Amino acid sequence: GNRLVISGQRPDCGRPAGCSFMVMEINYGPFSCEFQLPEGYDLGEALAVYQNGFLKIEIPQSVRPSGRQQMIPITEAK
Ordered by start, the domain boundaries in the chain are 2-58
Q: Which fold has domain 2-58?
A: Immunoglobulin-like (2.60.40)
**pLDDT below 70 — which residues of the chain?**
1, 64-78
The predicted structure's pLDDT at residue 34: 92
CB 41 within 8 A of CB 64: no
The predicted structure's pLDDT at residue 73: 67
Task: Please give the Cα distance from 71 to 64 (Å, whole number).
Answer: 17
Give the C-alpha distances (Å, rounded to integers) separating 13 from 29, 40, 68.
11, 39, 56
